Amino acid sequence: MSSAPVDLPDAAMTPAVRVTSAVKVYGEGPTAVRALDGIDLQVPRGSFLAIMGPSGSGKSTLLHCAAALDRLTSGSVEIDGTSLDGLSDRQLTRMRRERIGFVFQSYNLVPTLTAHENITLPLDLAGAKVDRERFDQIVDTLALRDRLTHRPAEMSGGQQQRVAAARALITRPTVVFADEPTGALDSRSGAELLGFLRDAARTVGQTVVMVTHDPVSASYADRLLFLADGRVVDELDGPTADAVLDRMKRFEGNDDAAGEGR
């Protein structure tokens, strides 16, 4: 078993995301729902992690808590070595603005702004200068150059999602969280977006954490976690669509067997 090189700086060895004993409970008493049940997770820098699981497995809850959009009932989350525990709402907002990028199924673009203005919006809100070289690289990679003056209503769903991805990456976040990012896209647009996220992880060390229900989407990741009942129940390194489908069938078979035994 190989160990990490000892000459790496501490920052490089710190996981982009660390989740420890994560518990999330909604409600109280007999109607309480335990959405997360003691999950431990580390996401190395520059890796692409996919998370799958049936409806109600806790995958979106895990993503939202890790992305500082929701708070755990107990346990802890660290982003870039900084614990979210005890941070004020203002500090969490700053964390989301400076270290976290978001790509969701709903694009959340500002309808009155052009594509260019939507992409640079996080920097404008922070009063930060736009890195023109990075802007050009992202825009050209996502093939948005001829859409920069268009407003969302003048773009296709795939183009809007690529604008959302560009906006998520323009601030050089520690980690990009993607929640079903291809759910509203056609297969070609979805493949383009996933290919870009995979390349961002491999070429510039961007960390990506994605929730998906699609085996093909999951195959773009370096590693895949399966959740059920708020727990990690399995994982795959270097997943392929066929391997994911095979694993999913195995879970379904176990569920059927469990149902017959009840």
On the question of pLDDT at 171 being above 50, the answer is yes
**Which three-class secondary structure state does DSSP give residue 188?**
helix
CA distance 114 to 132: 17
Picking from 218, 210, 139, 140, the residue whose alpha carbon sits closest to that of residue 176 is 210
pLDDT at 48: 97
pLDDT at 189: 81
Asked if residue 5 belongs to a domain, the reply is no
pLDDT: which is higher, 167 or 184 = 167
Picking from 47, 45, 48, the residue whose alpha carbon sits closest to that of residue 80 is 45
pLDDT at 5: 41
CA distance 232 to 234: 6
Residue 134 phi/psi, 5-degree rounding, is: -65, -40
Mean pLDDT of the chain: 88
Residue 170 is part of a domain; what is its CATH number? 3.40.50.300
On the question of pLDDT at 6 being above 80, the answer is no
Asked if residue 20 belongs to a domain, the reply is no
Q: Are 190 and 223 in contact (CB under 8 A)?
A: no
pLDDT at 219: 96
Which parts of 127-156 fold into alpha helices (H)? 132-141
Asked if residue 120 belongs to a domain, the reply is yes
Asked if residue 55 belongs to a domain, the reply is yes
Asked if residue 158 belongs to a domain, the reply is yes
Q: What is the pLDDT of residues 63-121, one digit of tens each?
A: 999 999 999 999 999 999 999 988 898 999 888 888 999 998 888 899 999 999 999 99
Asked if residue 226 belongs to a domain, the reply is yes
- Which of 13-17, 167-171, 218-222 ranks highest by mean pLDDT? 218-222
Parent domain of 179? 46-70+87-261
Asked if residue 40 belongs to a domain, the reply is no
Picking from 145, 152, 193, the residue whose alpha carbon sits closest to that of residue 169 is 193
How many domains, the chain?
1
Asked if residue 234 belongs to a domain, the reply is yes
On the question of pLDDT at 254 being above 70, the answer is no
Q: What is the pLDDT of residues 202-213, one digit of tens each?
A: 888 899 999 999
Q: How confident is the model at residue 46 (pLDDT cuts 50, 70, 90)?
A: very high
